[in-house]
Amino acid sequence: MTVGTKLHQALANLEGVKADFECFALETEDAQAKNEFNQYAQQLENIAQGFRQRVNYVEQQEPQYKVKQQAQQQVQQQAQQQAQQQAKQKAQQQAQQQAQQPPNMH
C-alpha cells in the first residue's frame, strides 16, 4: 500500500467515525449524550480538515502520491482493456458462426 493510499484511507476512516458519532447523536434521546456525540463529531471534523490539508500538501509536493488520479487512470486502462477483449470475443464468435453456416447455393 502506497503512502498516498494510506493517507486517503486514514482520512476516510476519520470521516467514517465522524459520521458514526453524528448517527449516535441523532439516535439517542439523552440530551447530554446527544451533545457529547455532536461535540465529538465536530472535533473529528476539525481534525479531518487539518488532515485533508496535509494530504493535499503531500500530493502537491509528491505527485506520485496522487491517489485519485492514479485510480482514475487505472480505471480507464481497465475499461479500455475490457472493451478490446469484448471486441475480440465478438469477432471470434462471429467468425465461428460464419464457419458453421452452410454455404448459400443460390
Predicted local distance difference test score (pLDDT) of residue 65:
66
pLDDT at 75 over 70: no
Flag whether the pTM goes above 0.85.
Answer: no
* Interatomic CA distance for residues 55 and 2, integer angstroms: 13
* Interatomic CA distance for residues 27 and 6, integer angstroms: 31
Q: What percent of the chain has pLDDT over 70?
A: 80
Domain range summary for the chain, segments of one domain joined by +: 3-96
Between 38 and 94, name the one with better pLDDT.
38
* Interatomic CA distance for residues 29 and 39, integer angstroms: 16
